[in-house]
Amino acid sequence: MLWVGLSGGIGSGKSTVSARLAALGAVVVDADRVAREVVEPGMPALAEIVDRFGPQVVGAGGTLDRAALGAVVFSDADARRDLEAITHPRIAARTRELVAAAPEDAVVVHDIPLLVELDRAADYALTVIVDVPAEVRLRRLVELRGTPEAEARRRIAAQADDASRHAAADVLLDNSGTVEELHAQVDRLWSGRLVPYEAALRAGRAARRPETLAVVEHDDRWPDQAARLLDRLRAALGDRAQRLDHIGSTSVAGLPAKDVVDLQVVVADLAVVDDPAVRRELARRGFVVVDDGREWFDHAHGAGGPADATWPKRMVATADPGRVVHCHVRESESPAWRLALLFRDWLRAEPGERERYAALKAGLLAQGLSTSAYAAAKEPWFAEAFPRAEAWAARTGWQPG
């Protein structure tokens, strides 16, 4: 099962996306619908809402007057928090029931308006945001829904801003055009990413780049992508993770790299990734433990001792065909995690060394090497570079942050 979060500001067209995904075969869990269920007449939540906000929030027939309640909570942060304390636990319980009832091979889409406001992006394997500028949403609310402009502005202001949504988004769907254009984007997302992502995740198969080597210019989106992935790992591992970092070439501004985000997780014991509970939490967020028969290790560059010494590690990756990730799981007793941070920070601080490394990459790329051969061919340079990095650390007093 693939667990996807779908959100967007009021008036963005999120419901159009949700309906299209349902038509394509997704199991859609509509947070608004669940929220209405838990406050139906006779439900405990409705009684608590009346106690807190008064009988004026109940309309004819004893049903909740959502407009009357909304007029209160959209302009009063304390009132909104009180309402959420009543409804959110019940909404969460009902959501779990619906997700548990989905087929094992389902793409389950959680249509949730407050995904960003509730800081829920790390709960999902993928977060999809329907993106429309605030002024366009305002016009749609006024012209298409008949919402008074002042009320529309208040509702938009009470939600997350566009920058916050962009930061939470793995996928941005641009809905500034026609419905047909939006449907085409959703169809491509479904067939090109969601369906293969679910199949790979269920099979425990990590996403990989092809053996045809490709090194690209630095992408300014890499750090934001890494931050979202680290948040997911943090949510999955809890206090088992002693630290989590973005490492490797994608973490160094201006450095060309393979389009693979390298991450590092430091743990007390590598066996943590064999815990079934940990694997379930990782899978919920799109990660698989790479169990392909290989023994994973780090070369002991710059650490003294035998030149061929190694330190064991484990590998975790995403099953997402749209974002290849290599997560190196290292024990706190291993010197490798410190060296990974040293190498990153040294390249960030020393333009000359960064240029030397970029030149090495370009030279190897020109040889037509495969991806695997390219990785092996860089090892001699690493062995020479790490003593220079250590000298820089001693000179500057560098320590892992």
What does the block give as tokens for 185? Answer: 């984007």
Residues making up the binding site for ATP: 11-16
What span, in angstroms and rounded, lies between the C-alpha atoms of 249 and 255? Answer: 6
Query: How many other C-beta atoms are found inside a 10 Å radius of the C-beta of residue 73?
Result: 18
What does the block give as tokens for 224? Answer: 């934001």
Angle at 26 between CA 285 and CA 167, to 5 degrees: 45
Residues making up the binding site: 11-16
What does the block give as tokens for 174? Answer: 């641009």
What span, in angstroms and rounded, lies between the C-alpha atoms of 68 and 73? Answer: 9
Angle at 128 between CA 122 and CA 131, to 5 degrees: 125
What span, in angstroms and rounded, lies between the C-alpha atoms of 230 and 251? Answer: 13
What span, in angstroms and rounded, lies between the C-alpha atoms of 132 and 14? Answer: 10
Crossing angle, helix 77-100 and helix 44-53, to 10 degrees? 170
Taking the CA atoms of 379, 381, 384 and 390 in sequence, report the sign of the dihedral they define.
Answer: negative
